[in-house]
């Protein structure tokens, strides 16, 4: 029966892949903490136009001139929008009821084309009175190819060989 032997360079290569995936946004870690949220019973249904903000979390801001296509559950295009120069403004012409499920496609040259299922949120009574739109934030990341070089040495007397490997990681976030 063959046995599997894990060498030190295996662990280093896996760690480098995990770090590269984290750095490019493919993988994320979060700590679950206590966050104050309004209980569902205190939220109200609204029927308002949506205001989308398209954000690049790696770039740290809004994504200007991104295309936002809004589809219904029947997969029929309802609206086609483009974010403003600040990247935070793409407002629908039609109102959407809280609880409605929509499918949203975000696209821009040099970025991952991303499809998301979005449920129109409820609002607090104060926000429902004060705001004319219902706000939804969407995220996408730039495409990129990252090369990681791994080198290993073999100690004298071992049967392995020294060498270099190049790993190529293409940044495609989970959707």
Domain with 114 in it: what CATH number?
2.60.40.10
Same domain membership, residue 130 and residue 84: yes
Same domain membership, residue 129 and residue 65: yes
Encoded tokens for 122: 């409820």
Task: Print the domain residue range for 149.
Answer: 8-19+144-170
Same domain membership, residue 100 and residue 67: yes
Same domain membership, residue 121 and residue 67: yes
**Tens-digit pLDDT profile for residues 31-64:** 555 455 667 778 999 999 999 888 887 777 888 8
**Tens-digit pLDDT profile for residues 66-120:** 899 999 999 899 999 999 988 777 899 999 999 999 999 988 888 878 888 999 9
Same domain membership, residue 148 and residue 94: no
- Residue 32 falls within a domain, yes or no? no
Please provide the distance, in angstroms rounded to a whole number, between the alpha carbons at the two ends of the chain: 40
Rounded-to-integer distance, Cα 94 and Cα 92, Å = 5
Which pTM does this prediction carry?
0.60
E strands, the chain, in order? 47-56, 61-62, 67-71, 77-82, 90-97, 101-107, 114-119, 134-139, 145-152, 163-170
Tokens 């990341």 -> residue: 141
pLDDT for position 136? 87
**Tens-digit pLDDT profile for residues 3-40:** 677 778 878 888 888 887 777 777 766 555 545 566 77
Same domain membership, residue 110 and residue 157: no
Tokens 């012409």 -> residue: 93
117 with 103: CB under 8 angstroms? yes
CA proximity to 136, closest of 75, 91, 97, 174: 91
Rounded-to-integer distance, Cα 64 and Cα 108, Å = 9
Q: How many domains does the chain fold into?
A: 2
**Tens-digit pLDDT profile for residues 108-165:** 888 878 888 999 999 999 999 999 999 888 877 676 655 556 665 555 655 555 555 5
- Residue 163 falls within a domain, yes or no? yes
């Amino acid at each position: 029966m063959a046995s599997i032997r894990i060498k030190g360079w295996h662990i280093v290569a896996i760690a480098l892949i995990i770090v590269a995936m984290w750095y490019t946004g493919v993988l994320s870690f979060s700590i679950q903490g206590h966050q104050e949220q309004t209980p569902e019973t205190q939220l109200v249904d609204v029927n308002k136009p949506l205001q989308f903000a398209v954000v690049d979390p790696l770039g740290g801001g809004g994504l200007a001139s991104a295309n936002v296509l809004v589809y219904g559950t029947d997969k029929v295009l309802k609206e086609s929008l483009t974010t403003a120069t600040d990247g935070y403004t793409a407002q629908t012409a039609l109102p959407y009821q809280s609880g409605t499920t929509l499918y949203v496609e975000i696209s821009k040259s040099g970025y991952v084309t991303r499809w998301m299922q979005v449920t129109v949120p409820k609002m607090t009574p104060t926000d429902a009175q004060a705001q004319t739109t219902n706000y939804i934030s969407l995220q996408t990341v730039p495409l990129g190819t990252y090369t990681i070089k791994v080198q290993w040495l073999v100690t004298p007397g071992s049967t392995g060989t020294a060498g270099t490997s190049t790993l190529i990681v293409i940044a495609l976030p989970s959707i």
